Amino acid sequence: MGKVFRKLSVVGMYTRNFRVFGRKEGKEMDESKTFEAEVVKKFNRFKMESLVGIFVGYAAYYIVRNNFIFSTPYLKGELNLSTTEIGLLSSCMLITYGLSKGFMSVLADKSNPKYFMALGLVLCILINICMGFSTSFYLFVGLVILLGLCQGMGVGPSIITVGHWFSRSERGRASTTWNISHNLGGGLVSPIVGAAMAYLGTEHWRIAAYIVPAVIALICVAIVLKLVKRRPVEEGLPPVEELTHESSVTEKFLHKTHEKPKDLSAWQIFYRYVFKNDNSWYLVLIDVFTYMVRFGMITWIPLYLLTIKGLSREEMGVSFMLFEWAAIPSTLVAGWLVDKYFKGRVMLLPVACLVVVFLCVFGYMQSESVVAITIFSTITGCLVYVPQSMVAVQAMEVIPSFALGSAVGLRGFMSYLVGSSMGTTLFGFVVDRLGWDSGFYLIMCGALLCMVFCLLSHRGVQRIYGEQQ
């Protein structure tokens, strides 16, 4: 970093001297321009390599996470487990993952994102290998708890990497590109495990479900270590704000305090710049209600369509699949739209999407046609992920870069423990007592509340930057 700044100072000196001494300094000026161009070129190469690295790495996290779902029918039969026990295993992973996203992302702020992400993935691989040889239900409980804890080490480094390497005008596309990695990774589990079982035979389901995904994830670890870079300063490059001449929330926060991030503990960073930050809590509540809508829909699609709407398993399967996969193109388009048309107004796009989601949930519950149900389900799945992906972009607008991991942690903790619970447990409670329509009205209320906090977050950005957007 020091070398870069010294060289940039030299560049400035050469530029000033050119005006004084005239053409005799022309050579030095040409050299300075060449150096600047080389810095920009290196920076752009590093940021794209880092984006590819965190994309591959985070997709790999889901490959060694969702594979457990595909193993449950075989696990249930071999260990003679009840449906309740299978549900307990899934709950253990979900709860511990929510907790882990909290404190692991806080730790990520003080760690090297590259090695932190790689370490978490290696631990997930080792746990998967152990699961492949486990024959005890209670051992499985312990292993899925450990897996949930280690899974939380992936998201923090990813957001931190995007925040440090991409400017405000680029973060929409970068964040949404990274965000679809979990859709891709989760979707790849089925063909990976299916192909392995077809080749090895169902009698070797443990190898197919756990060992083969672990080997693929191990290859991804090497890609993470190769491509993901440390923070620009640690790579001998200037910060992205300095390179692009854009103002940043980091500068505005540091301007108000004499303390430097390196002088603060992880807890102090979390408490001062995340917990006491109103804008941080707006993002938390957006995530909470987005997860409420998301899990409220996807959790109950199979049961609702089969028992209430009378769809066949094949028809239900199509609706379920389209709900998840429709998020990929919409998330990418959302990133492009934000960078091109919504710079500084990131949360206005989720508001528009949530209006459509609100109407589609109502249409979904009122429709009787298979085609109409599938269309409403697909549109809901297509748009419900937009607020979730835009929250990551908005976080970089209202949270200083050195506290992004802590912010991700708080959101992850609250969204899984509160948001997903409202979409699953609370939804089921309401349905048992008031009927299915009341459950979906609850989801629609979640969409409305999500809109409210999107607008509050938008106002928060206006206040920070002093812009009338």
| SS3 sequence of 412-467 | HHHHHHHHHHHHHHHHHHHHHHHCHHHHHHHHHHHHHHHHHHHHHHHHHHHHHHCC
Contacts of 258 (CB under 8 A, 6+ apart): none
Provide the residue type at 8 as one letter.
L
Per-residue pLDDT, 202: 79
Give the CATH architecture of domain 54-246. Answer: Up-down Bundle (1.20)
Per-residue pLDDT, 126: 96
Instruction: Note the pLDDT tens digit of each residue in 83-105.
Output: 567 666 776 777 788 788 777 87
Angle between helix 83-108 and helix 137-151 axes, rounded to 10 deg: 30
Contacts of 64 (CB under 8 A, 6+ apart): 121, 124, 125, 127, 128, 147, 213, 214, 217
State the DSSP code for 334. H
- Residue with the bigger pLDDT between 258 and 187: it is 187
pLDDT, average across residues 313-329: 76
Domain ranges of the chain: 2-40, 54-246, 249-469
CA neighbor of 423 nearest in space, from 456, 388, 392? 388
Instruction: Note the pLDDT tens digit of each residue in 127-186.
Output: 999 998 888 888 888 998 999 999 989 988 998 898 888 887 787 788 888 888 887 887
Q: How far apart are CA 33 and CA 39, in angstroms?
A: 10
CA neighbor of 192 nearest in space, from 317, 320, 60? 60
Please give the backbone phi and psi of residue 55, each rounded to the nearest 5 degrees, phi first: -65, -50
Per-residue pLDDT, 96: 85
- Residue with the bigger pLDDT between 221 and 278: it is 221
CA neighbor of 53 nearest in space, from 218, 300, 293, 225? 225
Per-residue pLDDT, 241: 75
Instruction: Check pLDDT > 70 for residue 9.
Output: no
Helix (H) or strand (E) segment spanning residue 174: helix 171-179
Instruction: Note the pLDDT tens digit of each residue in 441-465.
Output: 999 999 999 999 999 998 888 787 7
| Per-residue pLDDT band at 198 (split at 50, 70, 90) | confident
Taking all residues of the chain, what is their mean pLDDT, rounded to a whole number? 81
Are 265 and 32 within 8 A, CB to CB? Answer: no
Q: Do domains 54-246 and 249-469 have the same CATH topology?
A: yes
Q: How far apart are CA 60 and CA 22, in angstroms?
A: 57
Per-residue pLDDT, 247: 58
- Residue with the bigger pLDDT between 60 and 167: it is 60
Q: Report in angstroms the alpha-carbon separations of 53 from 227, 244, 392.
A: 5, 23, 18
| Per-residue pLDDT band at 336 (split at 50, 70, 90) | confident
Per-residue pLDDT, 374: 87
Torsion sign over Cα 157, 158, 162, 165: positive
Per-residue pLDDT, 1: 45
**Top-tier CATH class for 249-469:** mainly alpha
Query: Within 13 Å of residue 366, how many CA atoms lie on the same side as its CB?
Result: 7
Instruction: Note the pLDDT tens digit of each residue in 15-27.
Output: 444 444 445 456 6
